[in-house]
Amino acid sequence: MLTACTAHGVGLGQPVIRERPNEVRVVALNQLHGVFCPPETDQCEAPSRLALLFRDLEDAHCPQIVGLAEISARQAELVPDMLPSVCHGRYALLYEPDDGAVVDEEMILTSLPVLEHGYVDLAGFPWSGLWAKVRTPIGVVDYVVTHQASSSNNPPCSTENCPPICPAGEETGTCQTRQLIAFMDEHATPGGVQIVSGDLNKPASDPRVTPYFDAGFVDAWTAAHKRECDPETGKNCTCCINSMVDNYDGGGLTDPTLTRGGRIDFVLVRNGTTCRLRFGSATGIFAGAPAREPINGVYWPSDHAGVLAEIHLHGRCPTD
């Protein structure tokens, strides 16, 4: 399913912005909806966590494409009012929730010209994606941010809950991978770069993720020769901050000593151009360290860390 999105204008801020020719920088982050946080916490301090996120974007010199997953109705209410103060007001907001309750949706922030955009329906509730076709310094890029099925809602496929491309008995999460690859095959600009990013809820070695690699996508993290997640120290890991004291989704966001133990968040890139695809040194963990200055006692924008990918094309590269 594909529906149209709404773009919202933004205002002014004071960060340092980095732009280079033949480069696009992409961030993907599960922002934690907070709907399971205690009601008195305002979805685990949603305004403070968004303020931390926007601070992290400015510290990262305002990447041109930012994909956010696990957006709640509360966050959807806050972002349009907060966004004008971020990165000189450069970001347009793309957001189109599915009909019904907003529980776990996606947003895209971008400073680049948007050619098309839309909601991508995936098997199972509330899983989905958000797509934007964007004109970038490396040509037209088709970008999707998604949140694939978690263990709490990942039934086997049947003719009732999955499309025909997914065999009966396959987990919903792997079916969603098939759907997203098929979506790119149908909607992406031929000869361009395609990106699927977000919280895939499984590591790179899992059968849910490997179909992306079989279809020609590469993991920006691995391609940039980054060290793999070390669960003992939390270094290079993206999931998930969790406190034994506050044992709920979002518990522990006020504890700067906690670490993560797995890598389930990705920027996956497929190069349809005739140029060489490379990933710059800035590729790495995004928002993975506790804030130097917490906001209302909150050190982390999310229980996840995100991924920043610095993407380059080399050779005789078309830019349109």
Q: Are 157 and 135 in contact (CB under 8 A)?
A: no
Q: Structure tokens of 50?
A: 């968004």
pLDDT at 9: 36
Residue 4 has pLDDT above 60, yes or no: no
Give 298-314 pLDDT, tens digit per residue. Answer: 999 999 999 999 999 98
Residue 316 has pLDDT above 90, yes or no: no
Residue 281 has pLDDT above 60, yes or no: yes
Q: Within a domain: residue 273?
A: yes
Residue 8 has pLDDT above 90, yes or no: no
Query: Of 304, 315, 192, which is closest to residue 240 (Cα–Cα)?
Result: 304
Query: Of 169, 178, 107, which is closest to residue 148 (Cα–Cα)?
Result: 178
Q: Are 145 and 68 in contact (CB under 8 A)?
A: yes
Residue 12 has pLDDT above 50, yes or no: no
Q: Structure tokens of 103?
A: 């529980």
pLDDT at 22: 87
Residue 248 has pLDDT above 70, yes or no: yes
Q: Within a domain: residue 58?
A: yes
Give the H or E element holding residue 238.
none
Mean per-residue pLDDT of the chain:
92
Q: The CATH number of the domain where 181 resides is what?
A: 3.60.10.10
Q: Within a domain: residue 320?
A: no
Average pLDDT in the 204-226 region?
97
Pairwise CA distance, residues 178 & 10, whole Å: 35
| pTM for this model (two decimals) | 0.93
What's the total number of domains in the chain?
Answer: 1
Q: What percent of the chain has pLDDT over 90?
A: 84
Classify residue 21 as exposed, middle or buried by CB count within 10 Å of its CB (0-12, 13-18, 19+): exposed
- Banded model confidence at residue 97, pLDDT cuts 50, 70, 90: confident
- Banded model confidence at residue 249, pLDDT cuts 50, 70, 90: confident
Query: Of 21, 77, 70, which is closest to residue 47 (Cα–Cα)?
Result: 77
Give the H or E element holding residue 71.
strand 65-71
- What range does the domain containing 172 cover? 2-12+20-314
Average pLDDT in the 206-210 region?
97
pLDDT at 154: 95
pLDDT at 7: 41
Give 61-71 pLDDT, tens digit per residue. Answer: 999 999 999 99
Pairwise CA distance, residues 188 & 215, whole Å: 14
Give 15-59 pLDDT, tens digit per residue. Answer: 777 778 789 999 999 999 999 999 999 999 999 999 999 999 999
DSSP H stretches of helix in the chain: 42-59, 73-82, 172-187, 210-214, 220-223
Average pLDDT in the 273-298 region?
96
